[in-house]
Structure 1
Amino acid sequence: MKLFAKAAVCSALLVGGIAPGFAADDILVGDLTPTEARKQFVVDVGLAGVVTPKYDGSDDYIVYPLPLIAFSRFYLPGFGQVKDGESQGIFFYPSFSYVGERKPTDDPKLAGTQKVEWAGEVGLGGGYQYDWFRAFAEVRHGFNGHTGIVGRAGIDVLFQPLDRLKIAIGPRVDFADSDYMETYFGSPAGSAVGAYSADGGFKSVGAIARASFAATDDVSLHLQGGWDRLIGDAADSPISLDDDQFTVAIGATYRYDFNLFD
């Protein structure tokens, strides 16, 4: 086991988050070495700098650091390797997300709304990959700022123009239940924009392009650009100032491999 691997992974699980359009599960990672392929867990942990809308529907952008985590191998007792690093077949993975707090002072149109605390999201994702094609879907449950159900599905076309360079391009669709939608897109009577109730359903459609370069066997560099178009009740909400939401992120990860179970 590489030094401090267990501690690093535990910390990542606690603070690992996801900017809109930059899911940790989306990070492209390098091929496994023969030693790594025999481990129960192989995880890439790192940090990204992200440019993203201040909140869903905002026309202002902010820059902030974001922890990253991506599993190449993941073991569950009783199930075995639910993600084993193979380039084809069915796979599963844990899915994490983070939504920053939103204050009524963030924009004049939010006047009269309540402060929304930061929210964490945890869940499960799964998909299928064959050669250059990958499809996936993930569902997460929120806590603290919201207690709703959110999800994302997408398709990737995968390229590897160089031995250490991987590229993925594909469409995305996001959905959320009424709890999430009401929290982030609803507004009460007496607010600056008046009363509005947002129902659950599809929240956005978009696309991403990602590139990852394996600088060494353990260190990878990542670049991603994403676009999401708010639709449905999210787009109709008077809180939404811009239906087109863009995200750019650049980061680096370090790979750990270890066993937890005999």
Structure 2
Amino acid sequence: MLKLMTRAALALALGSLSGTALAPGSALAQSGDLSSKDANRQFVVDLGIGAMVKPRYEASDSYLVYPFPIISIGRFYLPGLGQVIDGRRKSGVFFYPAFNFVGERKASDSADLSGTRTVDWALELGLGGGFRTEHFRAFAELRQGINGHTGQVGQLGIDGIVYPAEKWEVSFGPRADFASGDYMDTYFGVTASEAANSGGRLTRYNASGGFKSVGLSTRASYDYNDDIRLHIQGGYDRLIGDAADSPIAENGSKDQFSVGLGVSYRFAFDLFN
């Protein structure tokens, strides 16, 4: 079953100082080395689409296939500033705006949610940054929720980066996700009325802010040619803290897996003389 992706964060690395195209912890795509021709263009943008198998909602024990866009930027030019992103660079500090879309969650999504209120869709907007070298990357990001929740969420991550063959780039490393009390209580808390309406499935529970999961993430990208890039990503997260102690997680699953595939096409062009 296909539906709009609800948990994959998509980030453009505008303002990056390292040439890393996408937020390391967010989207499937990574920015590959530029060809000699593309390295002289003002703008190099990779656009594509992918599909990811992920839990239906956080703490769910059922999975769905979510389509999502792939966007990465290899070079970006601003008049007066020059190339603010240059994909030829292999190391340095980088910054990126990040966003995430969380779909609506309804009691009808699972018997484990019986009696719970509907949580409306949420948009998360924020900023991230980090440091990378040719074989190492560390990053942190923070996002503010709008609509469905008004809390703050973020992620910390470290990656090792290897190049097992000429056209391959593989990264892997640990992740830690955290959230404020507003977010945790929205998605993991159970009110007295929800507990009463659940038919005994849920008990009243107040969730506090803190780290909500730890896990591992790995990605591999293959340059089919100078323009087409193939991507594969996998991840595992374990709910911890108040998220793991929630009756919603107790009824569902504390172990969350994901795997995705995607393809992107590179566009290189000039806009300014």
Shorter-normalised TM-score: what interval?
A: 0.7 to 0.9
Q: Give structure 2 stretches of 5+ with no counterpart.
A: 11-23
User: 1:112 offset after TM fit, Å?
Assistant: 2.1
Q: 1:88-143: CA deviations, max 9, x gaps?
A: 11111221222222111112231222111222222222111112111111112222
| Residue 161 (structure 1) aligns with | 164
**Max Rg structure:** 2
Matched, 1:60 2:62: yes
Bigger drift between 93-102 and 155-164 goes to 93-102
Correspondence for 1:252 among 246, 250, 263? 263
Contact kept, 8 Å, 1:128 with 1:135, in 2: the verdict is: yes
1:16, 1:70 → 2: CA distance? 18
1:183, 1:80 → 2: CA distance? 44
2:168, 2:67 → 1: CA distance? 24
Matched, 1:239 2:241: no
User: 1:171 offset after TM fit, Å?
Assistant: 0.5
Contact kept, 8 Å, 1:188 with 1:196, in 2: the verdict is: yes
Q: 1:204-226: CA deviations, max 9, x gaps?
A: 10001111111121211111110
Read off the aligned partner of 2:93 and give its amino acid letter: I
**TM-align CA RMSD:** 2.6
| Residue 16 (structure 2) aligns with | none
Contact kept, 8 Å, 2:78 with 2:84, in 1: the verdict is: yes
1:137, 1:196 → 2: CA distance? 29
2:26, 2:38 → 1: CA distance? 20
Bigger drift between 162-171 and 91-100 goes to 91-100
1:234 aligned counterpart, secondary structure: helix
% identical aligned pairs:
53
Measured at CA, do residues 233 and 126 of structure 1 come closer, stay the same or move farther in structure 2, by a change above 3 Å?
same
User: 1:23 offset after TM fit, Å?
Assistant: 5.0
Contact kept, 8 Å, 2:9 with 2:98, in 1: the verdict is: no
Measured at CA, do residues 98 and 41 of structure 1 come closer, stay the same or move farther in structure 2, by a change above 3 Å?
farther
Matched, 1:127 2:136: no
User: 1:174 offset after TM fit, Å?
Assistant: 0.6
Listed as ranges, the matches of 1:8-157 within 5 Å are 19=8, 24-25=26-27, 27-74=29-76, 81-85=83-87, 86-157=89-160
| Residue 188 (structure 1) aligns with | 191
* TM-score w.r.t. length of structure 1: 0.85
2:219, 2:211 → 1: CA distance? 23
Contact kept, 8 Å, 1:122 with 1:141, in 2: the verdict is: yes
Q: Give structure 1 stretches of 5+ with no counterpart.
A: 1-14
1:161 aligned counterpart, secondary structure: coil
